[in-house]
């Protein structure tokens, strides 16, 4: 297995290009199942999860074509991928694939809407929590689907005349359940209203793509989304939103080293809650429409953060802010309210000398003067990048194992960081 070695202490300076968002690309690719015409996506990030999802879509009968980059584009410009589900020849998403990437469970919505049936493996839990799918199943049932659980699979069947629009009130915000309900409702009969919908930019991006495909959707980006079902959707061209989590992550990497840099090809307007925390930490950030300029003023001040659904502070930046605060001048308090077990990075940060104490859903991070490099292990995607951030400032060498977690969500991480001065390399294992 590959490792990443980081020799800490280098000050990062320069420009880091941001890739298309993994968490936008995945639902957009799945939306291609809703039409028999091709959906062409640009700015698609080169990630393990994107490659795996293409394989899953092909197993269902879709054809995926990598159209590569336009001539002369930067090496980090995203891929153009065309997905053509002219015919769906298989309605089963198998355990061996769904268990590797939970978002593949989301194919249940388009399969039910387009084919009237679906057999999708339950995704199972993961490092950060049990991650049930009860909200998805309640929503699809409310739209008329018959749902059974058979040997670890969800077996779903739509009524003869297809799914029926319904009023869905989610008791808690769920990004995936909002994606799936919106996609199923796009081809249902009548109107669906989703209350307490997720407001994440990736949900709004999916809605924009569905509307380009002919769907009738209003309210995306707010807590109430209205969908008027149509009989069929057509193909479209759509650009994947820039990755707000990658943007916040690299901003914190620059701040961790006391450096100065600019994140390009991004949408900084999706990061208001993050920007407030950066200001509290004493990091100077200036924005324009597609760029974020970050300047650390030497020391870091402690912060108090609570993760919340969008537009609150993203849970996907929680591990990274924790890494940054390990060297702040004081005690920070970080509360994780979305997932029940998203502190797996604490023990690994402690191996680098961090002083963190946990009490239930809250971590207290007491800043230290120095971190010391050591071998550490990644446990999930965002925890792994928090160890990279810490390693960039640690004295000596940090060896990050289980790098496949990183490759799921951060395109060319070591190249992007090396280009701004990090002493980082991948050792093929």
Nearer to ligand EPZ, 203 or 374 (CB): 203
Rounded Cα distance, 382 and 405, in Å: 8
Kindly state whether residue 175 participates in binding ligand EPZ, applying the rule CB under 6 A.
yes
241 in contact with ligand EPZ (CB under 6 A): no
For residues 263, 266, 268, 274, the Cα torsion angle rounded to the nearest 10 degrees is -70
Contact segment (CB under 6 A) with ligand EPZ among 126-134, 150-158, 282-290, 325-333 equals 126-134
**Nearest approach, Cβ of 417 to ligand EPZ (angstroms)?**
19
CB atoms within 10 A of CB 362: 14
d(CA 371, CA 393): 7
Q: Which sign does the torsion angle of CA 404, 408, 411, 413 carry?
A: negative
Q: Give the x/- contact pattern for ligand EPZ in 307-346, rule: CB under 6 A.
A: --------xx---------------------xx-------
Q: How far is the CB of 134 from ligand EPZ (least distance, A)?
A: 5
User: In the window 64-103, what residues touch ligand EPZ (CB under 6 A)?
Assistant: 102-103
Identify which of residues 134 and 279 has a Cβ nearer to ligand EPZ in the complex: 134
120 lies in the binding site for ligand EPZ (CB under 6 A): no
CA diameter of the chain: 66
Nearest distance from C-beta of residue 97 to ligand EPZ, angstroms: 15
User: Coil, helix or strand for 99?
Assistant: coil
Q: Does 107 bind ligand EPZ (CB under 6 A)?
A: no
Nearer Cβ to ligand EPZ, position 103 or 356? 103
> 381-400: which residues touch ligand EPZ (CB under 6 A)?
381-382
Options 174, 318, 379, 386; binder of ligand EPZ; rule CB under 6 A: 174
Task: Return d(Cα 422, Cα 414) in angstroms, integer.
Answer: 8
Strands 117-121 and 79-84, how do they pair? unpaired
Stretch that binds ligand EPZ, among 20-28, 81-89, 319-327, 396-404 (CB under 6 A): 20-28
Helix (H, G, I), strand (E, B) or coil at 258: coil
Residue range at the interface with ligand EPZ (CB under 6 A); choices 132-140, 256-264, 268-276, 352-360? 132-140
Instruction: For residue 122, state whether it binds ligand EPZ (rule: CB under 6 A).
Output: no
Among the listed ranges 130-138, 148-156, 383-391, 414-422, the one in contact with ligand EPZ (CB under 6 A) is: 130-138
Phi, psi of 262 (to 5 degrees): -125, 130
Question: By CB under 6 A, is residue 104 in contact with ligand EPZ?
Answer: no
Q: Which of the stretches 36-44, 171-179, 256-264, 343-351 binds ligand EPZ when contact is defined by CB under 6 A?
A: 171-179
- Dihedral angle computed from the Cα positions of residues 349, 392, 16 and 68, in that order, rounded to the nearest 10 degrees: -70
- Helices marked H in 168-306: 175-186, 201-212, 244-256, 272-280
Beta strands in 87-229 (DSSP E): 92-93, 117-121, 146-150, 153-157, 167-169, 191-195, 216-218, 224-228
Of residues 377, 405, 406, 373, the one with CA closest to residue 390: 373
Which of 134, 279, 355, 425: binder of ligand EPZ (CB under 6 A)? 134
Catalytic residue numbers?
Answer: 126
**Cβ contacts of 55 within 8 Å, gap of 6 or more:** 97
* Closest listed residue to residue 183, CA positions, set 118, 95, 130: 118
Shortest CB 396 distance to ligand EPZ, Å: 28
Which residues lie near ligand EPZ (CB under 6 A)? 22-23, 26, 102-103, 129, 131-136, 172, 174-177, 315-316, 338-339, 381-382, 409
């Amino acid at each position: 297995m590959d490792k990443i070695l980081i020799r800490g202490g280098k000050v990062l300076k320069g420009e880091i290009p941001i890739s298309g968002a993994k968490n936008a690309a995945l639902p957009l690719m799945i939306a291609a199942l809703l039409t028999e015409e091709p959906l062409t996506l640009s700015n698609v990030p080169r990630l393990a999860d994107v490659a795996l999802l293409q394989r899953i879509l092909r197993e269902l009968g879709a054809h995926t074509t990598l159209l590569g980059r336009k001539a002369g584009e930067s090496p980090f410009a995203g891929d153009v991928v065309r997905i053509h589900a002219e015919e769906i020849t298989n309605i089963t998403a198998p355990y061996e694939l769904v268990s590797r990437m939970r978002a593949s469970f989301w194919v249940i919505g388009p399969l039910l809407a387009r084919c009237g049936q679906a057999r999708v493996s339950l995704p199972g839990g993961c490092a950060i929590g049990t991650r049930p799918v009860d909200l998805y199943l309640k929503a699809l049932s409310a739209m008329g689907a018959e749902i059974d659980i058979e040997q670890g699979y969800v077996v779903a069947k739509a009524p003869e005349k297809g799914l029926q629009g319904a009023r869905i009130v989610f008791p808690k915000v769920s990004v995936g359940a909002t994606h799936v309900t919106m996609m199923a409702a796009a081809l249902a009969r009548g109107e669906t209203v989703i209350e307490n919908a997720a407001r994440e930019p990736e949900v709004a991006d999916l809605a924009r793509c569905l509307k380009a495909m002919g769907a009738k959707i209003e309210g995306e980006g707010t807590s109430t989304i209205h969908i008027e079902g149509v009989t069929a959707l057509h193909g479209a061209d759509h650009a994947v939103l820039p990755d707000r989590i990658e943007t916040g992550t690299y901003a914190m990497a620059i701040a961790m080293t006391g450096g100065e840099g600019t994140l390009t090809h991004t949408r900084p307007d999706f990061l208001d809650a993050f920007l407030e925390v950066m200001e509290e930490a004493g990091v100077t950030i200036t924005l324009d429409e597609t760029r974020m300029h970050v300047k650390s003023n030497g020391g870091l001040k402690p912060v108090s953060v609570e993760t919340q659904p969008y537009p609150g502070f993203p849970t996907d930046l929680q591990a990274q802010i924790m890494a940054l605060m390990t060297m702040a001048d004081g005690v920070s308090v970080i509360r994780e309210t979305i997932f029940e077990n998203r502190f797996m990075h604490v023990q690994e940060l402690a191996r680098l000398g961090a002083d963190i104490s946990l009490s239930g859903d809250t971590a207290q991070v007491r800043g230290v003067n120095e971190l010391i490099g050591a071998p550490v292990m990644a446990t999930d995607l965002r925890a792994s990048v928090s160890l990279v951030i810490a390693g960039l400032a640690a004295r000596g060498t940090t060896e990050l194992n289980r790098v496949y977690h990183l490759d799921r969500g951060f395109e060319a991480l070591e190249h992007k960081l090396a280009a701004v001065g990090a002493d980082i390399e991948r050792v093929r294992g």
